[in-house]
């Protein structure tokens, strides 16, 4: 049985408490469910205050963990912050920056919003991100805005857009370093690692490692409409883009999954990439719930209406996961969320 530690601080921004406390029954149940599916950490905040923080044996609060595709939402944060700073417009054509895309093909119609809502029509293989130069050479297989295609290439293309935008402004042309200075450092988010392509560019689809607390700090930035230490980092309406899906697929906004819309979709309307997402057991979901999801069932859930930020980290085991799926078992977002929601409900007599 795993050793569990609860570290309940007054707020994430303060130093960790020195003494462990017992887990509440609801927290213990959520942690046990996570544990049963290769879990490493569960952290649940209500209105910015930890109500559940638990780690598996060999894992602690200071251990950074790969987010895998949970990294993708950082590109969304990058985009809305860049829009705030006048570096770009979400609806501008990518060809405004990538001049080689002005070639008379469908590439000239692709917008930044198309890229980050995965509706550009550009296909790529999950788990095999091209470098920036290779990604820029790709062409849409479908008209922009007409088909949802999950994969890493659109994020790498956006990385090249950001690289050129920053260079044109006379800034250091590294998208990850820009985001660290623009958001992470002010928000107190420490990067454990951000992997790079062989040509030295940051992997925007899958390269980031964070601790549970640091990923929660990012979630809190979203939940608080971009406010850091009482000061706005951007106009709050900018974050509305995260909730706006493409007509091509209603279950995905700007780099974020939209669980309430996914829950409402008929199974035959689910793209292949969405088949592993299961919300049936959750009951009614808030319509503003956002989810970042990574391989191995890494999860970040955020709802302003409920006042919650939930982080779940786990060991990646593709063999174990595929075997469980084949048996009709395995991780369920709905089952975990049902337990997580119980940790923030008022106690009853």
Residues 182-211: tens digit of each pLDDT:
999 999 999 999 999 999 999 999 999 999
**Whole-angstrom distance, CA of residue 164 vs CA of residue 287:** 36
Average pLDDT, the chain: 90
Q: DSSP assignment of 264-313, as one string?
A: HS-GGGS-GGGTT---GGG-S--TT-EEEEETTTEEEEEETTTTEEEEEE
Inform me whether the pLDDT recorded for 239 exceeds 80.
Answer: yes
Q: 164-169, long-range: CB within 8 Å, 24+ apart, which pairs? A: 164/97, 164/98, 165/82, 165/87, 165/88, 165/97, 166/87, 169/87
Residues 279-314: tens digit of each pLDDT:
988 989 999 999 999 999 999 999 999 999 999 999
Of residues 257, 258, 253, 227, the one with CA closest to residue 242: 253
Edge to edge, the sheet with strand 308-314 lists 49-55, 39-46, 308-314, 298-303, 290-294
Inform me whether the pLDDT recorded for 16 exceeds 60.
Answer: no
Domains of the chain, start order: 1-33+44-61 (no CATH), 64-257 (3.40.710.10), 259-281+321-337 (no CATH)
**Whole-angstrom distance, CA of residue 182 vs CA of residue 177:** 9
pLDDT band at residue 277, thresholds of 50, 70 and 90? confident
Residues 61-105: tens digit of each pLDDT:
999 999 999 999 999 999 999 999 999 999 999 999 999 999 988
**Whole-angstrom distance, CA of residue 266 vs CA of residue 51:** 34
Contact between 214 and 208 (Cβ < 8 Å): no
pLDDT at 19: 30
Q: How many CB atoms lie within 10 A of CB 323?
A: 12
pTM confidence score: 0.91
Of residues 70, 90, 72, 71, the one with CA closest to residue 80: 90
């Amino acid at each position: 049985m795993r050793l569990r530690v609860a570290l309940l601080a007054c707020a994430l921004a303060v130093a960790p408490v020195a003494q462990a406390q017992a887990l509440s029954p609801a927290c213990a149940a959520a942690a046990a469910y996570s544990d049963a599916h290769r879990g490493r950490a569960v952290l649940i905040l209500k209105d910015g205050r930890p109500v559940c923080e638990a780690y598996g044996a060999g894992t602690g609060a200071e251990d950074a963990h790969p987010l895998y595709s949970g990294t993708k939402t950082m590109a969304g944060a990058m985009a809305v912050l860049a829009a705030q700073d006048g570096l770009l417009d979400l609806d501008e054509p990518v060809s405004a920056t990538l001049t080689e895309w002005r070639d008379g093909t469908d590439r000239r119609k692709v917008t930044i919003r198309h890229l980050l809502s995965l509706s550009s029509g550009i296909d790529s293989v999950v788990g095999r991100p091209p470098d920036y130069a290779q990604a820029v050479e790709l062409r849409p297989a479908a008209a922009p805005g007409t088909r949802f295609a999950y994969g890493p290439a659109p994020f790498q293309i956006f990385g090249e857009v950001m690289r050129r935008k920053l260079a044109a402004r006379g800034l250091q042309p590294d998208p990850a370093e820009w985001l660290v200075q623009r958001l992470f450092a002010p928000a107190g988010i420490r990067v454990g690692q951000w992997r790079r392509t062989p040509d030295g560019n940051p992997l925007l689809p899958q390269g980031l490692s964070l601790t549970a607390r640091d990923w929660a700090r990012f979630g809190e930035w979203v939940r608080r409409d971009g406010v850091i230490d009482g000061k706005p980092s951007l106009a709050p309406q900018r974050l509305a883009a995260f909730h706006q899906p493409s007509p091509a697929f209603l279950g995905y906004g700007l780099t974020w999954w939209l669980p309430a819309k996914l829950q409402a979709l008929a199974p035959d309307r689910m793209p292949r990439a969405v088949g592993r997402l299961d919300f049936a057991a959750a009951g009614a979901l808030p319509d503003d719930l956002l989810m970042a999801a990574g391989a191995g069932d890494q999860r970040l859930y955020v709802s302003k209406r409920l006042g919650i930020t939930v982080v779940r980290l786990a060991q990646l085991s593709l063999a174990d996961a595929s075997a469980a799926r084949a048996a009709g078992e395995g991780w369920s977002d709905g089952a975990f969320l049902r337990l997580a929601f119980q940790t923030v409900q008022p106690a009853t007599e």
